[in-house]
Chains A and B, each alone.
Chain A
Amino acid sequence: MKKKSLTKSQNEKWLLRLYVAGQTPRAATAFNNLKVICEAQLKDNYNIEVIDILKNPQLARDHQIIAIPTLVRKLPLPVRNIIGDLSNVGRVLSGLDLEYYNESNSR
């Protein structure tokens, strides 16, 4: 069972959304941190969407965003939320379930 879902998530392309509010230094830090992590863990198997809620506040309401920056893992399911500038790599990895992903990949 577990293996099946894992293989599925392996093949699936990751969809990550990063919500920011304007071009702030913290937004830039978050984006860079995310980029580094994704490159290291997922190679090309991911997409990052950056949503600036300043430009589209209605999206913040629709997606229930309050903290900035917020990283949302839309795919694979289940949805995961990580808030902050993603400077703590360990937390990001555990938040995105990437530790497990890598373990199973390397096996």
Chain B
Amino acid sequence: MTGNHSAWEKVQLARHAQRPTAKLLIHTLAPDFLELKGDRCFANDDAIVGGIGTIDKITMTIIAEEKGTTLEEKIRNHFGMPHPEGYRKVMRLVRQAEKFSRPILFLIDTPGAYPGFEAESRGQAEAIASLLRLLFTIKTPIIAVVLSEGGSGGALAIGIADYILMLENATYSILSPEGFAAILYKDASLANKVADDMKLTADDLFAYGIIDEIIPEAAGGWHIDNYTPLSALQTKITEKARSLLQLDPKTLLENRQARYRRYGIYVEDKT
């Protein structure tokens, strides 16, 4: 891999103010993208953008966590932190994708699911749990890309996939380093100290088998050269979608189950 950034530097790069968001990727790779809104229950959540688009002749359902680029957008999108209605929109769109046999592309970029009164009132935990379970029954290929920040259950909820790509300077972790430090050491300012121990870089996750492939960024990060990772992503996404479409739905689901079944490291005494 290029660059020798520390884990904490990668956290900063993944959150860089000029770092592109999912929007750029969608409009570059799928210029015909049409956004579909709403969960049909409560509201539309702009933290999650969903719709249909064609990437190199493959029509896909594309679902992305979108932090927004302007201040106005960032506030409207809650800085990419989805509410339950966002996850329920995902449930609607993945069922739709399955019905029409469209492969699904998830683009992950969130500090986490929104922690607030409204989100809790409308069942944040239930929404994430139900989405996790649903994704193990969706009989169409799922490809996920960790674009920038992959924070906790909010990222995992759209992280169940048959093939997972991750940008070089993206992070993916159980919690933000700030939250992690606050829980373990009661001091969020220790975030830079714990980032390394958290093993949240693409290299770490590749070594653990959590992700399948790392997509290189230009030296200095994605914001230095917008298009370096995009052309590689286009190739990988379409290549993988095509090969996964060859599998019969039963095998596809069995493989997806098997992938997540093996996660976990423990000791089992023989005696």
A and B interact: no
Measured CB to CB, the residues of A under 8 A from B are none
